[in-house]
Chain A
Amino acid sequence: MRFGVGLFSLQCTAMQPRHWTGAYRDMRELAVLMEDLGYDELWLSEHHFFYDGYCPALLPAAASVLSVTERLRVGTGMLLLPMYDPERLAAVANDLTARSGGRLDLGVGMGYRDIEFDGHGVSRKQRLPRMVRGLEVLEAAEAAGGAPIWMGAQLVDPVKRAGQRGHPLLFSAALPFERCRTLTQIWEEGWAESGRPASDKPALGALRNIWLTEDSSEREAARDWVRASYVQYAGLGWTLPAVGEHQQQDYAEETDKAIADTVETTISGSAEECVRQLKQFDEIGIKHIAFRLILDGEPRDALENQLRRLADHVLPELRDRVPA
């Protein structure tokens, strides 16, 4: 398995105010620390026109991390592809791939907020054709040695399309394990339908809320930071749609319930317990785990402490078992 940390969104929130410049500096410093501790990946996240400065430009942010690291991969999770000129985007991604020695992962999604489309002069009705056109351009770039494409999706059709096109998925941390398993099966159906050999299947990825501790008060604090960080998504109007037997989680209309359900996805406890739960993902083909540790309200020293603890007690167990 491979391990990363996310989602770096560079916000200055109502609950945790800070200067944006400090947020970008902190990310570079944490990236260097992550690299020293043996992490493989750092994942960024994008939104636009939000009060807290949620990062709207992932490739410049990725460049800032890639320029100060030597081994760490940097992924966009997710860049909202329909809002960009795909040829220009491909040129920037190619440049960054060349500069960094191939350490960029280009995760792309469609976006869902009307304001973000309208502010960029794009009709929301055009998001699917623009997504497909953008993917065609990026796939051509990838085939020529450009950045690997990842996709973010949680509905049946987009998940299957990702499988059909041969792109790995990075699942949201809000998806419980069972839903990840359902969607992985759908993705594999798409992969099989495309006629690609099963042996070529890429490993999938998942963000996971996690906090390694056996201290109950620390555990409660961490779960509360997870709660606070999902309040951001309620503000953004995000909804986790129903898939098969898995119910919708509506952050806008049923905020408290949706957030409480999501907090329950948090893996917490001893190192043995964290390893046990993460192995479940390994067994269904999800071998990239991005610890979702960038949380609203979380002090930096708590974050650094958790990065060290997971690196010392969890990474060695799972890396040894299934070398990536």
Chain B
Amino acid sequence: MRLGLVLADRQEAEMARDAESHGLFGVLAGTGDARTAVTSAVYASTATDFVRIVVKVRLGLEHPVTVAEELSVLDNVNNGRTVVLVDSGDLAVDDAADEVAVLREALGNRPIQHEGPRWKVPAGLPANATAPKAIAVTPKPAQIEIPFWTAIAREPAECGSAGSVQPGIARIAGSLSEDRALVTAWAEAGATHLLLELPEGGEAGNRAELLTMISRYLAPEVGMPHFPRVMSDSRVPLPWPGNGRA
């Protein structure tokens, strides 16, 4: 199982940079106002080079073609690192499924001609006489296909083991023993990617300590079965003389 970090609203750039420098797989952006999730993800993207940018997309707030266009721009800004975490919001199940279908088709590599219970794309409205029967959203995403996480577990018991990816989200306590037990429980339940929320919103003051705990103790613990703890409990290697680390 791999660990990631939940970003606090308006602290996306600094926290994403910290997550990357601590070797985490990714970050979750869009935890504040759902309407500004893509902006949050852009700020996390331009501050980093490698971490996956998981962006929480609330359905039902905007036409899905517009959302697809924003996601495609985001994916080009971050060179193919986008992952979409779907939040169905207030939509009924069928409507949410239709909206996700439009999003995925719009981000795909074939022209779209979609007719479902919620959306018809293109709309085929009489006033738009010269519009063709199909459209193609451009630019295309940088990656072959943007991963969609349509569900995320909030408890280890919600995890399934059938799919190749089972994301989860959990808040750590800031205590090594408690948090070691927490992540171990998730790993044993079959989670593949666990996004960690820092306690008290992860203020900058103790964020460095918490990230060190995550990267030095928690990530190795769930990175392999039967992790030999001597490797994280041992003393940190000496720095280059004069480089500052005590």
Selected contact of A57 from candidates B47, B73, B122, B130, CB within 8 Å: B73
Minimum distance in angstroms from B219 CB to a CB of chain A = 27
Contact of B61 among A57, A61, A85 (CB under 8 A): A85
Q: Is the interface of B mostly helix, strand, loop or mixed?
A: loop
Stretch at the interface among A111-119, A154-162, A169-177: A111-119
Contact of A63 with B42 in the complex, beta carbons under 8 Å = yes
Q: Mark A77-102, 1 if CB is under 8 A from B, else 0.
A: 00000011100100110011011000
Q: Mark A114-138, 1 if CB is under 8 A from B, else 0.
A: 1101111111111000000000000
CB-CB contacts of A180-202 with B at 8 A, as 1s and 0s? 00000000000000000000000
In the complex, the chain B residue whose C-beta lies closest to that of A28 is B46
Q: Name the CB-closest residue of A to B80.
A: A21
Question: Is B121 in contact with A121, judged by CB distance below 8 angstroms?
Answer: yes
| Option from A19, A67, A120, A122 in Cβ contact (under 8 Å) with B43 | A67
The reply to whether B122 and A115 form a contact with Cβ atoms under 8 Å apart is yes
Instruction: Tell me, yes or no, whether B233 is within 8 Å of chain A by CB.
Output: no
Contact check, B66 vs A52: say whether CB atoms are below 8 A apart: no
Q: How many residues of A contact B (CB 8 A)?
A: 48
Among A98, A117, A121, A126, the one with the most B-chain Cβ atoms within 10 Å of its Cβ is: A121
How far is B17's CA from A68's CA once the two chains are assembled, in angstroms? 13
Chain B CB within 8 A of A24 CB: yes
B166 interface contact, C-beta 8 A: no
Q: Is the interface of A mostly helix, strand, loop or mixed?
A: helix
Contact of A115 among B36, B120, B135 (CB under 8 A): B135
Q: Is B204's CB within 8 Å of the partner chain A?
A: no
Which chain A residues border B74 with CB–CB below 8 Å? 60
> Chain B 124-138, CB within 8 Å of chain A: the 1/0 string?
111111111001111
Q: Say yes or no: A64 contacts B42, CB within 8 Å.
A: yes
Evaluate contact between A117 and B128: CB separation under 8 angstroms. yes
B contact residues around A88 at 8 Å (CB): 35, 61-62
Contact, CB under 8 Å: A124 / B138 = no
Number of A-B contacts (CB under 8 A): 151
Inter-chain contacts of B129 with A (CB < 8 A): 114
Quick one: given A96-B39, A117-B128, A118-B123, are A57 and B69 in contact (CB under 8 Å)? yes
Q: A residues 45-82 with Cβ under 8 Å of B? A: 48-57, 59-61, 63-64, 67-68
Question: What residues of chain A lie closer than 8 Å to B38, measured between beta carbons?
Answer: 57, 59-60, 63, 92
**A33: interface (CB < 8 Å):** no
**Are B121 and A20 within 8 A (Cβ)?**
no
- CB distance A60 to B39 under 8 Å? yes
Contact partner of A121 among B46, B63, B70, B126, CB < 8 A? B63
Q: How distant is the Cα of A67 from the Cα of B38 in the complex, in angstroms? A: 13
Q: Give CA–CA (A48, B129) in the complex, Å.
A: 17
**In chain B between 110 and 154, which residues have their CB closer than 8 angstroms to a CB of chain A?**
119-132, 135-140, 142
Q: Is the CB of A119 within 8 A of B122?
A: yes
Q: Which residues of B contact A50 (CB under 8 A)?
A: 138
| Residue B13 lies at the interface, judged by CB distance under 8 Å to chain A | yes
Decide yes or no whether A12 CB sits under 8 A from chain B.
yes
Say which residue of B42, B46, B65, B76 sits within 8 Å of A21 (CB atoms): B76
Chain A residues with Cβ below 8 Å from B122 are: 115, 118-119
Report B-chain residues with C-beta under 8 Å of the C-beta of A114.
127-131
Partner of B63 from the list A64, A99, A120 (CB cut-off 8 Å) is: A120
Q: Which residues of chain A have C-beta atoms less than 8 A from B33's C-beta?
A: 91, 95
- A49–B128 Cα distance when bound, in Å, is 15
Known pairs A60-B39, A121-B119; A49 contacts B73 (CB<8 A): no
Do A49 and B138 have beta carbons less than 8 Å apart? yes
Check B46 against A68 for contact (C-beta < 8 Å): yes
Nearest CB on A from B105, distance (A): 12
Q: Would you give 23 A-B contacts (Cβ < 8 Å), ordered by A?
A: A20-B140, A28-B46, A48-B69, A49-B135, A49-B136, A49-B138, A53-B140, A54-B138, A55-B73, A56-B69, A56-B72, A56-B137, A59-B39, A64-B46, A67-B13, A67-B43, A67-B47, A114-B129, A118-B125, A119-B122, A120-B65, A121-B119, A125-B127
